[in-house]
Amino acid sequence: MSALDQLIRAQKRERAGMLRLAIASAVVLGAASTLLMGLSGWFIVASAIAGAAGLATAHTFNVLLPSAMIRLLAIGRTAARYGERLAGHAAALRALAAIRPAVFASLAAAPPSQALSLSRGEASARLVQDVDAIETRFVRLSAPWSAVAGLASAIALAALAGPAPAIVILVAALAAILTARALAKRFSAPARAAIQAKVGALKDTTAALVAAAAELRAYGLEAWAGETLNAKAADLDAARLAAARAQGLIVASQAVILGAAVAAAIATAAPADPALAALAGLAAAMGVDALAGLAHAFDQDGAAREARERLDGILRHQPQAAPTLEGAPTLSILGETLNPGERLAIIGPSGCGKTTAIETLLGLRGDTEHLRAAFAWLPQDAGLVAGTVRENLRLAAPKATDEQLWQALEDAALADRIRAAPQGLAAYLGDDGERLSGGERRRLALARAYLRDAPWLLLDEPTEGLDAAAEALVVERLAQRLARTGQGLVVVSHRPAPAALCGRVVRMG
Protein backbone atom coordinates (compact mmCIF):
# COMPACT_ATOMS: atom_id res chain seq x y z
CA MET A 1 0.00 0.00 0.00
CA SER A 2 1.39 3.39 -0.98
CA ALA A 3 1.98 6.19 1.49
CA LEU A 4 -0.90 8.18 0.00
CA ASP A 5 -3.27 5.22 0.35
CA GLN A 6 -2.25 4.85 3.98
CA LEU A 7 -2.86 8.54 4.57
CA ILE A 8 -6.27 8.39 2.89
CA ARG A 9 -7.23 5.27 4.83
CA ALA A 10 -6.30 6.96 8.10
CA GLN A 11 -8.45 9.97 7.20
CA LYS A 12 -11.36 7.70 6.26
CA ARG A 13 -11.16 6.09 9.68
CA GLU A 14 -11.02 9.48 11.38
CA ARG A 15 -13.96 10.83 9.34
CA ALA A 16 -15.92 7.55 9.46
CA GLY A 17 -18.96 9.09 11.16
CA MET A 18 -19.40 11.82 8.55
CA LEU A 19 -18.75 9.41 5.69
CA ARG A 20 -21.38 6.97 7.01
CA LEU A 21 -23.87 9.84 7.27
CA ALA A 22 -23.04 10.84 3.69
CA ILE A 23 -23.57 7.27 2.47
CA ALA A 24 -26.87 6.90 4.36
CA SER A 25 -28.07 10.21 2.98
CA ALA A 26 -27.00 9.17 -0.53
CA VAL A 27 -29.00 5.94 -0.26
CA VAL A 28 -32.11 7.86 0.79
CA LEU A 29 -31.50 10.42 -1.95
CA GLY A 30 -31.13 7.82 -4.70
CA ALA A 31 -34.19 5.84 -3.63
CA ALA A 32 -36.38 8.89 -2.95
CA SER A 33 -35.55 10.54 -6.29
CA THR A 34 -36.49 7.44 -8.27
CA LEU A 35 -39.61 6.65 -6.26
CA LEU A 36 -40.75 10.28 -6.42
CA MET A 37 -40.45 10.45 -10.20
CA GLY A 38 -42.07 7.07 -10.80
CA LEU A 39 -44.94 7.68 -8.39
CA SER A 40 -45.54 11.16 -9.81
CA GLY A 41 -45.76 9.80 -13.36
CA TRP A 42 -48.15 7.05 -12.31
CA PHE A 43 -50.28 9.50 -10.31
CA ILE A 44 -50.63 12.00 -13.18
CA VAL A 45 -51.58 9.35 -15.74
CA ALA A 46 -53.85 7.46 -13.36
CA SER A 47 -55.62 10.68 -12.37
CA ALA A 48 -56.13 11.56 -16.01
CA ILE A 49 -57.58 8.14 -16.77
CA ALA A 50 -59.90 8.32 -13.75
CA GLY A 51 -61.09 11.77 -14.75
CA ALA A 52 -61.72 10.67 -18.32
CA ALA A 53 -63.70 7.65 -17.12
CA GLY A 54 -66.37 9.83 -15.58
CA LEU A 55 -67.38 11.54 -12.37
CA ALA A 56 -68.19 8.32 -10.51
CA THR A 57 -64.77 6.84 -11.21
CA ALA A 58 -63.05 10.08 -10.34
CA HIS A 59 -64.79 10.15 -6.96
CA THR A 60 -63.56 6.68 -6.13
CA PHE A 61 -59.96 7.45 -7.08
CA ASN A 62 -57.84 7.93 -3.95
CA VAL A 63 -55.78 11.07 -4.46
CA LEU A 64 -54.82 11.62 -0.82
CA LEU A 65 -52.46 8.71 -0.29
CA PRO A 66 -50.39 9.17 -3.48
CA SER A 67 -50.15 12.93 -2.99
CA ALA A 68 -49.06 12.46 0.62
CA MET A 69 -46.40 9.97 -0.49
CA ILE A 70 -45.19 12.42 -3.14
CA ARG A 71 -44.82 15.17 -0.54
CA LEU A 72 -43.02 12.83 1.84
CA LEU A 73 -40.60 11.69 -0.85
CA ALA A 74 -39.96 15.29 -1.93
CA ILE A 75 -39.12 16.34 1.63
CA GLY A 76 -36.97 13.27 2.15
CA ARG A 77 -35.08 13.88 -1.07
CA THR A 78 -34.34 17.50 -0.15
CA ALA A 79 -33.15 16.58 3.35
CA ALA A 80 -31.05 13.70 2.04
CA ARG A 81 -29.40 15.85 -0.63
CA TYR A 82 -28.48 18.44 1.99
CA GLY A 83 -27.18 15.79 4.39
CA GLU A 84 -25.14 14.04 1.71
CA ARG A 85 -23.52 17.25 0.49
CA LEU A 86 -22.89 18.59 3.97
CA ALA A 87 -21.42 15.41 5.46
CA GLY A 88 -19.53 14.26 2.36
CA HIS A 89 -17.86 17.56 1.58
CA ALA A 90 -17.18 18.34 5.23
CA ALA A 91 -15.36 15.01 5.57
CA ALA A 92 -13.44 15.61 2.34
CA LEU A 93 -12.38 19.17 3.19
CA ARG A 94 -11.25 18.22 6.69
CA ALA A 95 -9.32 15.28 5.29
CA LEU A 96 -7.58 17.51 2.75
CA ALA A 97 -6.73 19.97 5.52
CA ALA A 98 -4.88 17.12 7.24
CA ILE A 99 -3.29 15.73 4.07
CA ARG A 100 -1.72 19.01 2.89
CA PRO A 101 0.52 19.43 5.97
CA ALA A 102 1.60 15.80 5.56
CA VAL A 103 2.56 16.46 1.93
CA PHE A 104 4.49 19.58 2.92
CA ALA A 105 6.26 17.72 5.74
CA SER A 106 7.24 14.93 3.36
CA LEU A 107 8.47 17.46 0.82
CA ALA A 108 10.62 19.08 3.50
CA ALA A 109 11.92 15.65 4.51
CA ALA A 110 12.89 14.69 0.96
CA PRO A 111 16.59 14.49 0.06
CA PRO A 112 17.90 17.94 -0.88
CA SER A 113 18.59 16.76 -4.42
CA GLN A 114 14.85 16.23 -4.86
CA ALA A 115 13.38 18.91 -2.62
CA LEU A 116 15.58 21.71 -3.94
CA SER A 117 15.02 20.69 -7.55
CA LEU A 118 11.26 21.17 -7.24
CA SER A 119 10.33 24.69 -8.33
CA ARG A 120 7.91 26.88 -6.42
CA GLY A 121 5.26 26.42 -9.08
CA GLU A 122 5.58 22.64 -9.04
CA ALA A 123 5.54 22.53 -5.24
CA SER A 124 2.41 24.70 -5.23
CA ALA A 125 0.75 22.41 -7.77
CA ARG A 126 1.45 19.39 -5.56
CA LEU A 127 -0.01 21.07 -2.49
CA VAL A 128 -3.06 22.58 -4.21
CA GLN A 129 -4.16 20.92 -7.46
CA ASP A 130 -2.87 17.42 -6.74
CA VAL A 131 -4.37 17.30 -3.25
CA ASP A 132 -7.64 18.74 -4.58
CA ALA A 133 -7.74 15.99 -7.22
CA ILE A 134 -7.84 13.26 -4.60
CA GLU A 135 -10.84 14.91 -2.95
CA THR A 136 -12.94 12.62 -5.14
CA ARG A 137 -11.62 9.68 -3.11
CA PHE A 138 -13.83 10.98 -0.29
CA VAL A 139 -16.70 12.73 -2.04
CA ARG A 140 -17.45 9.87 -4.42
CA LEU A 141 -17.62 7.24 -1.66
CA SER A 142 -21.36 7.78 -1.52
CA ALA A 143 -21.86 7.69 -5.31
CA PRO A 144 -22.00 3.87 -5.68
CA TRP A 145 -24.47 3.58 -2.81
CA SER A 146 -26.72 6.27 -4.25
CA ALA A 147 -26.52 4.62 -7.69
CA VAL A 148 -27.42 1.19 -6.29
CA ALA A 149 -30.33 2.60 -4.28
CA GLY A 150 -31.68 4.54 -7.25
CA LEU A 151 -31.26 1.63 -9.66
CA ALA A 152 -32.82 -0.90 -7.27
CA SER A 153 -35.81 1.39 -6.72
CA ALA A 154 -36.19 1.84 -10.48
CA ILE A 155 -36.15 -1.93 -11.11
CA ALA A 156 -38.64 -2.50 -8.30
CA LEU A 157 -41.05 0.09 -9.71
CA ALA A 158 -40.71 -1.21 -13.26
CA ALA A 159 -41.35 -4.75 -12.06
CA LEU A 160 -44.90 -3.64 -11.14
CA ALA A 161 -45.57 -3.54 -14.88
CA GLY A 162 -43.91 -6.91 -15.49
CA PRO A 163 -40.41 -8.39 -15.70
CA ALA A 164 -39.61 -7.00 -19.16
CA PRO A 165 -39.37 -3.31 -18.13
CA ALA A 166 -37.24 -4.28 -15.14
CA ILE A 167 -34.84 -6.20 -17.40
CA VAL A 168 -34.70 -3.23 -19.78
CA ILE A 169 -33.60 -0.94 -16.95
CA LEU A 170 -30.97 -3.38 -15.75
CA VAL A 171 -29.51 -3.80 -19.24
CA ALA A 172 -29.51 -0.01 -19.79
CA ALA A 173 -27.73 0.54 -16.47
CA LEU A 174 -25.01 -1.94 -17.38
CA ALA A 175 -24.62 -0.30 -20.79
CA ALA A 176 -24.39 3.16 -19.21
CA ILE A 177 -21.69 2.06 -16.73
CA LEU A 178 -19.57 0.21 -19.30
CA THR A 179 -19.86 3.03 -21.84
CA ALA A 180 -18.93 5.74 -19.33
CA ARG A 181 -15.98 3.70 -18.12
CA ALA A 182 -14.67 3.04 -21.64
CA LEU A 183 -15.04 6.66 -22.77
CA ALA A 184 -13.41 7.99 -19.60
CA LYS A 185 -10.44 5.67 -20.01
CA ARG A 186 -10.04 6.52 -23.68
CA PHE A 187 -10.60 10.30 -23.62
CA SER A 188 -10.95 11.74 -20.09
CA ALA A 189 -7.99 10.08 -18.39
CA PRO A 190 -5.24 11.51 -20.66
CA ALA A 191 -6.87 14.94 -20.73
CA ARG A 192 -7.28 15.13 -16.94
CA ALA A 193 -3.71 13.93 -16.40
CA ALA A 194 -2.45 16.58 -18.82
CA ILE A 195 -4.34 19.27 -16.90
CA GLN A 196 -2.52 18.35 -13.67
CA ALA A 197 0.87 18.57 -15.36
CA LYS A 198 0.12 21.78 -17.26
CA VAL A 199 -1.20 23.57 -14.18
CA GLY A 200 2.17 22.94 -12.55
CA ALA A 201 4.00 24.24 -15.63
CA LEU A 202 1.88 27.41 -15.69
CA LYS A 203 2.43 28.07 -11.99
CA ASP A 204 6.14 27.46 -12.39
CA THR A 205 6.42 29.95 -15.25
CA THR A 206 4.27 32.51 -13.43
CA ALA A 207 6.39 32.32 -10.28
CA ALA A 208 9.60 32.73 -12.27
CA LEU A 209 8.33 35.73 -14.25
CA VAL A 210 6.85 37.44 -11.19
CA ALA A 211 10.17 37.07 -9.37
CA ALA A 212 11.90 38.73 -12.32
CA ALA A 213 9.24 41.42 -12.82
CA ALA A 214 11.59 44.35 -12.15
CA GLU A 215 14.19 43.10 -14.63
CA LEU A 216 11.54 42.39 -17.24
CA ARG A 217 10.27 45.96 -16.99
CA ALA A 218 13.77 47.38 -17.04
CA TYR A 219 14.64 45.54 -20.27
CA GLY A 220 11.26 46.07 -21.90
CA LEU A 221 10.39 42.37 -21.92
CA GLU A 222 6.82 42.69 -20.64
CA ALA A 223 5.42 41.63 -24.01
CA TRP A 224 7.68 38.59 -24.15
CA ALA A 225 6.65 37.64 -20.62
CA GLY A 226 3.00 37.98 -21.57
CA GLU A 227 3.47 35.82 -24.64
CA THR A 228 5.27 33.18 -22.58
CA LEU A 229 2.46 33.08 -20.04
CA ASN A 230 -0.16 33.03 -22.79
CA ALA A 231 1.56 30.04 -24.40
CA LYS A 232 1.50 28.10 -21.12
CA ALA A 233 -2.10 29.14 -20.51
CA ALA A 234 -3.03 28.06 -24.04
CA ASP A 235 -1.54 24.62 -23.39
CA LEU A 236 -3.61 24.36 -20.22
CA ASP A 237 -6.75 25.58 -22.00
CA ALA A 238 -6.23 22.97 -24.73
CA ALA A 239 -6.07 20.23 -22.12
CA ARG A 240 -9.17 21.58 -20.38
CA LEU A 241 -10.99 21.75 -23.70
CA ALA A 242 -10.10 18.13 -24.38
CA ALA A 243 -11.39 17.21 -20.93
CA ALA A 244 -14.62 19.15 -21.53
CA ARG A 245 -15.14 17.36 -24.83
CA ALA A 246 -14.58 14.02 -23.15
CA GLN A 247 -17.05 14.93 -20.44
CA GLY A 248 -19.56 16.02 -23.07
CA LEU A 249 -19.12 12.73 -24.87
CA ILE A 250 -19.84 10.82 -21.69
CA VAL A 251 -22.91 12.93 -20.93
CA ALA A 252 -24.18 12.52 -24.49
CA SER A 253 -23.77 8.74 -24.32
CA GLN A 254 -25.66 8.64 -21.05
CA ALA A 255 -28.46 10.72 -22.56
CA VAL A 256 -28.77 8.38 -25.56
CA ILE A 257 -28.89 5.32 -23.32
CA LEU A 258 -31.41 7.02 -21.03
CA GLY A 259 -33.68 7.88 -23.94
CA ALA A 260 -33.50 4.35 -25.34
CA ALA A 261 -34.19 2.89 -21.90
CA VAL A 262 -37.27 5.09 -21.41
CA ALA A 263 -38.68 4.18 -24.82
CA ALA A 264 -38.06 0.47 -24.32
CA ALA A 265 -39.49 0.47 -20.78
CA ILE A 266 -42.69 2.22 -21.91
CA ALA A 267 -43.05 -0.11 -24.90
CA THR A 268 -42.66 -3.26 -22.83
CA ALA A 269 -44.95 -1.98 -20.03
CA ALA A 270 -47.70 -0.56 -22.26
CA PRO A 271 -49.71 -3.81 -22.51
CA ALA A 272 -50.08 -3.90 -18.75
CA ASP A 273 -51.55 -0.45 -18.09
CA PRO A 274 -50.95 3.13 -19.32
CA ALA A 275 -50.30 4.41 -15.78
CA LEU A 276 -47.84 1.61 -15.11
CA ALA A 277 -46.19 2.31 -18.47
CA ALA A 278 -45.63 5.93 -17.39
CA LEU A 279 -44.27 4.69 -14.07
CA ALA A 280 -41.88 2.30 -15.85
CA GLY A 281 -40.68 4.99 -18.27
CA LEU A 282 -39.91 7.50 -15.55
CA ALA A 283 -38.34 4.79 -13.40
CA ALA A 284 -36.05 3.96 -16.32
CA ALA A 285 -35.09 7.61 -16.66
CA MET A 286 -34.26 7.94 -12.97
CA GLY A 287 -32.53 4.57 -12.82
CA VAL A 288 -30.06 5.54 -15.54
CA ASP A 289 -29.76 9.09 -14.18
CA ALA A 290 -28.84 7.66 -10.77
CA LEU A 291 -25.60 6.46 -12.36
CA ALA A 292 -24.50 10.02 -13.18
CA GLY A 293 -22.36 10.16 -10.05
CA LEU A 294 -20.43 7.09 -11.14
CA ALA A 295 -19.97 8.50 -14.63
CA HIS A 296 -18.58 11.72 -13.12
CA ALA A 297 -16.20 9.70 -10.95
CA PHE A 298 -14.94 7.84 -14.02
CA ASP A 299 -14.42 11.19 -15.72
CA GLN A 300 -12.27 12.44 -12.82
CA ASP A 301 -10.17 9.28 -12.53
CA GLY A 302 -7.42 10.55 -14.82
CA ALA A 303 -6.72 13.60 -12.68
CA ALA A 304 -6.86 11.54 -9.49
CA ARG A 305 -4.48 8.92 -10.91
CA GLU A 306 -1.95 11.52 -12.08
CA ALA A 307 -2.18 13.33 -8.75
CA ARG A 308 -1.67 10.07 -6.89
CA GLU A 309 1.52 9.27 -8.79
CA ARG A 310 2.91 12.76 -8.24
CA LEU A 311 2.05 12.75 -4.52
CA ASP A 312 3.37 9.24 -3.95
CA GLY A 313 6.75 10.45 -5.21
CA ILE A 314 6.81 12.93 -2.33
CA LEU A 315 5.04 11.05 0.45
CA ARG A 316 7.53 8.20 0.47
CA HIS A 317 9.83 10.51 2.44
CA GLN A 318 8.78 10.49 6.08
CA PRO A 319 9.78 13.32 8.43
CA GLN A 320 12.32 12.27 11.01
CA ALA A 321 12.81 13.71 14.46
CA ALA A 322 15.65 16.20 14.59
CA PRO A 323 18.78 14.68 16.12
CA THR A 324 19.60 15.73 19.65
CA LEU A 325 22.86 17.61 19.98
CA GLU A 326 25.16 16.82 22.86
CA GLY A 327 27.18 19.97 23.01
CA ALA A 328 28.63 21.92 20.12
CA PRO A 329 30.19 19.66 17.47
CA THR A 330 33.63 20.05 15.95
CA LEU A 331 33.51 20.98 12.27
CA SER A 332 35.62 19.92 9.32
CA ILE A 333 35.45 22.15 6.27
CA LEU A 334 37.90 22.75 3.42
CA GLY A 335 40.65 20.94 5.28
CA GLU A 336 40.15 23.00 8.43
CA THR A 337 39.05 21.62 11.78
CA LEU A 338 37.09 24.05 13.93
CA ASN A 339 36.49 23.63 17.63
CA PRO A 340 33.35 25.08 19.24
CA GLY A 341 33.44 28.87 19.39
CA GLU A 342 36.13 29.28 16.72
CA ARG A 343 35.70 31.49 13.68
CA LEU A 344 36.56 30.87 10.06
CA ALA A 345 36.26 33.18 7.04
CA ILE A 346 36.01 31.73 3.54
CA ILE A 347 36.93 34.29 0.92
CA GLY A 348 37.41 34.19 -2.80
CA PRO A 349 35.92 35.33 -6.12
CA SER A 350 32.41 34.45 -7.20
CA GLY A 351 31.99 30.94 -8.57
CA CYS A 352 34.94 29.40 -6.75
CA GLY A 353 32.77 27.09 -4.58
CA LYS A 354 32.36 29.00 -1.31
CA THR A 355 28.60 28.51 -1.10
CA THR A 356 28.95 24.88 -2.15
CA ALA A 357 31.26 24.29 0.81
CA ILE A 358 28.68 25.72 3.21
CA GLU A 359 25.84 23.70 1.68
CA THR A 360 27.92 20.55 1.96
CA LEU A 361 28.47 21.25 5.64
CA LEU A 362 24.71 21.65 6.07
CA GLY A 363 24.02 18.32 4.39
CA LEU A 364 22.38 19.92 1.37
CA ARG A 365 25.04 18.39 -0.85
CA GLY A 366 26.07 15.23 0.95
CA ASP A 367 25.35 12.94 3.88
CA THR A 368 25.99 15.18 6.88
CA GLU A 369 22.34 15.91 7.66
CA HIS A 370 22.88 14.85 11.27
CA LEU A 371 24.81 18.10 11.81
CA ARG A 372 22.09 20.39 10.49
CA ALA A 373 20.64 21.08 13.93
CA ALA A 374 23.97 22.60 14.94
CA PHE A 375 23.70 25.49 12.51
CA ALA A 376 21.89 28.79 12.20
CA TRP A 377 22.17 29.51 8.49
CA LEU A 378 21.95 32.69 6.45
CA PRO A 379 21.87 31.56 2.79
CA GLN A 380 23.11 33.76 -0.01
CA ASP A 381 19.64 34.05 -1.51
CA ALA A 382 17.54 33.98 1.67
CA GLY A 383 13.84 34.26 0.92
CA LEU A 384 11.10 36.00 2.85
CA VAL A 385 7.47 34.93 3.02
CA ALA A 386 4.52 37.16 2.19
CA GLY A 387 3.74 38.02 5.78
CA THR A 388 4.65 40.29 8.66
CA VAL A 389 8.03 40.97 10.21
CA ARG A 390 7.05 38.78 13.15
CA GLU A 391 5.96 35.89 10.93
CA ASN A 392 9.20 36.00 8.95
CA LEU A 393 11.35 36.01 12.06
CA ARG A 394 9.45 33.20 13.74
CA LEU A 395 10.22 30.83 10.88
CA ALA A 396 13.49 30.22 12.75
CA ALA A 397 11.94 30.17 16.24
CA PRO A 398 8.13 29.68 16.25
CA LYS A 399 7.88 30.22 20.01
CA ALA A 400 10.10 33.29 20.19
CA THR A 401 8.77 36.18 22.28
CA ASP A 402 8.59 39.73 20.97
CA GLU A 403 11.45 40.60 23.28
CA GLN A 404 13.62 37.97 21.60
CA LEU A 405 12.56 39.23 18.18
CA TRP A 406 13.59 42.76 19.03
CA GLN A 407 16.93 41.55 20.37
CA ALA A 408 17.63 39.73 17.09
CA LEU A 409 16.70 42.86 15.15
CA GLU A 410 19.04 44.92 17.34
CA ASP A 411 21.86 42.46 16.63
CA ALA A 412 21.15 42.80 12.90
CA ALA A 413 21.05 46.63 13.12
CA LEU A 414 17.44 46.71 11.89
CA ALA A 415 15.47 47.43 15.04
CA ASP A 416 15.25 51.20 14.49
CA ARG A 417 13.86 50.71 10.98
CA ILE A 418 11.16 48.30 12.20
CA ARG A 419 10.22 50.53 15.15
CA ALA A 420 9.71 53.39 12.71
CA ALA A 421 7.19 51.33 10.73
CA PRO A 422 3.57 52.15 11.69
CA GLN A 423 2.83 48.56 12.76
CA GLY A 424 6.23 47.51 14.03
CA LEU A 425 6.58 43.73 14.16
CA ALA A 426 3.12 43.42 12.60
CA ALA A 427 4.16 45.38 9.49
CA TYR A 428 3.34 43.48 6.31
CA LEU A 429 6.33 42.98 4.02
CA GLY A 430 4.69 41.87 0.76
CA ASP A 431 5.96 39.11 -1.52
CA ASP A 432 9.56 38.23 -0.70
CA GLY A 433 9.86 41.35 1.46
CA GLU A 434 9.26 43.72 -1.45
CA ARG A 435 8.44 46.61 0.91
CA LEU A 436 11.98 46.56 2.26
CA SER A 437 15.14 47.63 0.49
CA GLY A 438 17.69 45.01 -0.54
CA GLY A 439 19.90 45.76 2.45
CA GLU A 440 16.94 45.68 4.84
CA ARG A 441 15.83 42.31 3.49
CA ARG A 442 19.35 41.03 4.05
CA ARG A 443 19.43 42.23 7.64
CA LEU A 444 15.98 40.77 8.36
CA ALA A 445 17.18 37.39 7.11
CA LEU A 446 20.27 37.79 9.31
CA ALA A 447 18.06 38.53 12.33
CA ARG A 448 16.10 35.36 11.56
CA ALA A 449 19.31 33.34 11.60
CA TYR A 450 20.21 34.87 14.96
CA LEU A 451 16.97 33.53 16.43
CA ARG A 452 17.96 29.93 15.77
CA ASP A 453 19.33 28.40 18.97
CA ALA A 454 22.43 26.75 17.51
CA PRO A 455 26.13 26.61 18.46
CA TRP A 456 27.35 27.61 14.99
CA LEU A 457 26.49 30.53 12.75
CA LEU A 458 26.89 29.93 9.00
CA LEU A 459 26.63 33.27 7.26
CA ASP A 460 26.86 33.50 3.47
CA GLU A 461 27.55 37.10 2.41
CA PRO A 462 25.90 38.69 5.48
CA THR A 463 26.67 42.28 4.43
CA GLU A 464 25.78 41.99 0.74
CA GLY A 465 23.85 45.05 -0.45
CA LEU A 466 24.86 47.25 2.51
CA ASP A 467 26.71 50.53 2.30
CA ALA A 468 29.92 51.01 4.25
CA ALA A 469 28.25 52.58 7.31
CA ALA A 470 25.55 49.92 7.56
CA GLU A 471 28.12 47.17 7.03
CA ALA A 472 30.31 48.52 9.82
CA LEU A 473 27.36 48.60 12.21
CA VAL A 474 26.22 45.04 11.30
CA VAL A 475 29.78 43.70 11.78
CA GLU A 476 30.11 45.53 15.11
CA ARG A 477 26.80 44.09 16.35
CA LEU A 478 27.82 40.62 15.14
CA ALA A 479 31.06 40.83 17.11
CA GLN A 480 29.10 41.81 20.22
CA ARG A 481 26.69 38.94 19.70
CA LEU A 482 29.49 36.38 19.29
CA ALA A 483 31.12 37.63 22.47
CA ARG A 484 27.81 37.36 24.30
CA THR A 485 26.68 33.95 23.04
CA GLY A 486 29.99 32.17 22.48
CA GLN A 487 28.77 30.85 19.13
CA GLY A 488 31.21 29.65 16.51
CA LEU A 489 31.22 31.36 13.12
CA VAL A 490 31.79 30.33 9.53
CA VAL A 491 31.37 33.32 7.25
CA VAL A 492 31.53 33.44 3.46
CA SER A 493 32.27 36.88 2.05
CA HIS A 494 34.18 38.68 -0.64
CA ARG A 495 34.27 41.78 1.56
CA PRO A 496 37.02 42.32 4.16
CA ALA A 497 34.89 43.64 7.06
CA PRO A 498 33.10 40.36 7.99
CA ALA A 499 36.29 38.36 7.42
CA ALA A 500 38.11 40.61 9.91
CA LEU A 501 36.07 39.01 12.72
CA CYS A 502 37.73 35.66 12.13
CA GLY A 503 41.06 34.44 13.33
CA ARG A 504 41.35 31.90 10.52
CA VAL A 505 40.87 32.46 6.83
CA VAL A 506 40.61 30.09 3.86
CA ARG A 507 41.19 31.64 0.46
CA MET A 508 39.57 29.90 -2.50
CA GLY A 509 40.10 30.33 -6.22
For residues 272 and 335, state if they share a domain.
no
DSSP string, 144-200: HHHHHHHHHHHHHHHGGG-HHHHHHHHHHHHHHHHHHHHHIIIIIHHHHHHHHHHHH
Q: Tell me: the pLDDT tens digits for 108-141?
A: 777 766 666 666 667 777 777 788 777 777 767 7
In a domain, 323, yes or no: no
Q: Tell me: the pLDDT tens digits for 22-34?
A: 899 989 998 998 8
- Position 444 scores a pLDDT of 93
The enclosing domain of 362 has a CATH number of 3.40.50.300
For residues 287 and 371, state if they share a domain.
no
Q: Tell me: the pLDDT tens digits for 196-239?
A: 788 888 888 888 888 788 888 889 999 999 999 999 999 999 99
For residues 153 and 238, state if they share a domain.
yes
- Position 189 scores a pLDDT of 87
Average pLDDT, the chain: 85
Q: Tell me: the pLDDT tens digits for 134-175?
A: 777 776 778 888 889 999 999 998 998 889 999 999 999 999
Nearest to 303, CA basis, from 129, 103, 138, 141: 129
Pick the last residue of a domain from 286, 315, 344.
315
For residues 406 and 295, state if they share a domain.
no
For residues 421 and 478, state if they share a domain.
yes
**Sign of the torsion angle spanned by Cα atoms 283, 287, 293, 298:** negative
In a domain, 211, yes or no: yes
Q: Per-residue pLDDT averaged across 286-307, rounded?
A: 83
Where in the sequence is the domain holding 279, given as residue range(s)? 3-315
Q: For 18-27, 93-102, 138-147, 250-259, which range has the lowest pLDDT when averaged over its residues?
A: 138-147
CA 480 and chain centroid, separation: 45
Pick the last residue of a domain from 285, 315, 345.
315
Residue 367 clears pLDDT 60, i.e. is over it = no
Nearest to 298, CA basis, from 176, 459, 386: 176
Pick the last residue of a domain from 315, 346, 376.
315
Q: Tell me: the pLDDT tens digits for 401-457?
A: 999 999 999 999 999 999 988 889 999 988 777 888 888 999 999 999 999 988 889
With a pLDDT cut of 90, the percent of the chain lying above it is 30
